Amino acid sequence: MNAAQPPSPASTLGPPLWLLAEVTYRCPLHCAFCYNPVDFARDDTELSTEDWLRVLREARAAGSVQCGFSGGEPLMRDDLEVLVAEAHRLGYYTNLLTSGVGLTAERAQALKAAGLDHIQLSFQDSTRELNDFLSHTRTFDLKQRVAGIIKDNGWPMVMNCVIHRLNIDYIDRIIEMAVELGAEYLELANSQYYSWALLNRDQLMPSREQLERAERITNEYRQRLGDRIRIFFVVPDYYEKRPKKCMNGWGNVFLTVTPDGTALPCHTARMLPGLEFPNVRDMDVKSIWYDSEGFNRYRGDSWMKDPCRTCPDKEKDHGGCRCQAYMLAGDPAAADPVCDKSPDHHKVVEAVERANTPGWKGAEQPLIFRDPARSRELAACGKR
Ligand code: SF4
Ligand code: SF4
């Protein structure tokens, strides 16, 4: 290479360190804030066990070191133990992201024997009423039992609760429940408004007052509890003035494989227009990562438009999230409208203002719960 030329993205690119295996979109729950695409039920084909085993081997050979088994509910696959065992044998650090439904004592023991390193258990709230309302299932008591099973098997207890307007006022009780269940880590992740959650944005977005109170209470608990539990509080990016460095950069660290084998730089990227993403059935993981058009499109900064193109902060955030740029600005190459330099920033400001208007009726609309029939209906109207 000529020394005067800037390096191409491929020449400085590291491996896909983090493999997210979305093994199924099937899920017994119906969360209103689900992170799966709106059209998740459009195609219900799933990779076979053999396909997944090959993907695990190819990704490991390409340099992946962490493997998250996710979904939907990954325990809906009865070959999960086989996949975990192979991932463990290959040397991955393995993580299961689960609602807890399907994690019986027997399956937990089988997963332990297969070498599973880590489980993240999600709750919707600290009360049975709200947990069961938000997931549209009776799962609260089951989740409590599953928390005990996780502890009994000696896994670190990692609890996740998606935070939003409807449960944020009970943040103290959520933290106390995590402590009572013996969690070592608690992730209080404010809902981000992608995919299914975007359908319910008006009902889910907290007010500034709610958010500030929740952060203050979380900090008080952090001080009081010290090392007993590590609490992460993720602010909704609509309340920021600069976007997040989405996925740590497009095609930089994360490789997601969806149930049907589509390989994506992030789990929502399939919504982006004009991009063909490769499938692990047709292309090996290394070629997907380094050579495919879908993974290369938003690497580097040559795709950027103003204001990002000439912005001194472009290395910090890579222009934010491509999906959010598409959803709010209609252009995946635009600046993420969360940024106050974006010409579309007013759309974020307006959504936040509505959430802060006392008595605003939009917040009281019925939630749209995640459901396969609804997904197919919405997909027929072009929603992704
Ligand atoms: S967010 Fe809820 S509905 Fe969506 S996959 Fe997770 S548990 Fe299932
Ligand atoms: S203009 Fe673009 S690069 Fe600059 S801070 Fe905003 S999103 Fe980031």
**Which of ligand 2's atoms lies nearest the C-alpha of 340?**
6
Residues 156 and 28 in one domain: yes
Same domain, 29 and 140: yes
Whether residues 37 and 136 share a domain: the answer is yes
**Residue whose CA lies nearest to ligand 2 atom number 8:** 319
> How many Å lie between the centroid of ligand 1 and the Cα of residue 45?
18
Q: Which of 24, 25, 31, 97 to mutate to test ligand 1, by most ligand atoms within 8 A of the CB atom?
A: 31
Q: Are residues 152 and 172 in the same domain?
A: yes
Domain-embedded: residue 42 = yes
Q: Hunting for tokens 């295996």 — which residue is that?
A: 21
Instruction: Write down the pLDDT at residue 293.
Output: 94
Q: Mention every residue, 6+ apart, whose C-beta is less than 8 A from residue 258.
A: 22, 25, 264, 267, 270
In a domain, 41, yes or no: yes
pLDDT the model gives residue 6: 42
Range of the domain at 27: 18-239
Atom index in ligand 1 nearest the CA of residue 162 equals: 1
Please tell me whether residues 229 and 323 are part of one structural domain.
no
Distance (Å) from CA 313 to ligand 2 centroid: 6
Cα–ligand 1 centroid distance for 10 (angstroms): 35
**4 in Cβ contact with 77 (< 8 Å):** no
Q: Which atom, in ligand 2's list, is nearest to the CA of 314?
A: 3
Rounded to the nearest 10 degrees, what angle do helices 208-225 and 171-180 cross at?
Answer: 30
End position of a domain, from candidates 239, 273, 297: 239
Residue 320 lies in a domain: yes
Ligand 2 centroid – CA 189 distance (Å): 23
> Annotated binding site: which residue ranges?
27, 31, 34
Kindly state whether residue 378 falls inside one of the protein's structural domains. Answer: no
Q: Would you say the CB of residue 275 lies under 6 angstroms from ligand 1?
A: no
Tell me the angle at which helices 140-152 and 105-114 cross, rounded to the nearest 10 degrees.
Answer: 40
The answer to whether residue 3 sits within a structural domain is no
Count of domains observed in the chain: 2
Same-domain status, 174 and 283: no
SS3 176: helix
Give the CATH number, domain containing residue 171.
3.20.20.70
Would you call 142 helix, strand, or coil by DSSP? helix
Spatial contact of 109 and 89, defined as CB atoms under 8 Å apart: no
- Contact, 126 vs 174, CB < 8 A? yes
Q: Are residues 183 and 41 in the same domain?
A: yes
Task: Please indicate, yes or no, whether residues 136 and 263 belong to a single structural domain of this protein.
Answer: no
- In a shared domain, residues 193 and 53: yes
Residue 235 has what pLDDT? 87
Kindly list the strands in the beta sheet with 254-257, ordered across the sheet, starting from the edge strand earlier in the chain: 230-234, 185-190, 157-163, 118-123, 93-98, 66-70, 18-22, 254-257, 263-264
347 and 280 in a common domain: yes
* Atom 2 of ligand 1: nearest residue by CA position: 31
Whole-number pLDDT of residue 40: 92
Q: How far apart are CA 323 and CA 333, in angstroms?
A: 9
Cα–Cα distance measured from residue 249 to residue 14, given in angstroms and rounded to the nearest whole number: 12
Together in a domain, 222 and 251: no
Q: How far is the CA of 125 from the centre of ligand 2 (A)?
A: 35
Among the atoms of ligand 1, which is closest to the Cα of residue 370?
Answer: 3
Q: Which of 209, 239, 269 is the C-terminal boundary of a domain?
A: 239
- Report if residue 9 sits inside a domain: no
Q: Are 322 and 332 in contact (CB under 8 A)?
A: yes
Tens of each residue's pLDDT in the chain, 384 residues? 333 344 444 558 999 999 999 999 999 999 999 999 999 998 889 999 999 999 999 999 999 999 999 999 999 999 999 999 999 999 999 999 999 999 999 999 999 999 999 999 999 988 899 889 988 888 899 999 999 999 999 999 899 999 999 999 999 999 999 999 999 999 999 998 888 999 999 999 999 999 999 999 999 999 999 999 999 999 888 999 999 998 899 999 999 999 999 999 998 899 899 999 999 999 999 999 999 999 999 999 999 999 999 999 999 999 999 999 999 999 999 999 999 999 999 999 999 999 999 888 888 899 999 999 999 999 888 777
Q: Is residue 364 part of a domain?
A: no
The reply to whether 47 and 80 lie within a common domain is yes
**Cβ-contact 15, 350 below 8 angstroms:** no
Task: Take atom 1 of ligand 1 and give the residue whose Cα is closest.
Answer: 34
Give strand pairing partners of 95.
Answer: 68, 118
Verdict on whether the full-model pTM lies above 0.95? no
Binding-site residues for [4Fe-4S] cluster: 27, 31, 34
Q: How far, CA to CA in Å, does 313 sit from each of 10, 54, 310, 347?
A: 22, 40, 9, 22
- Domain end, chosen from 239, 268, 285, is at 239
Residue appearing with tokens 């309340």: 239
**In a domain? residue 288:** yes
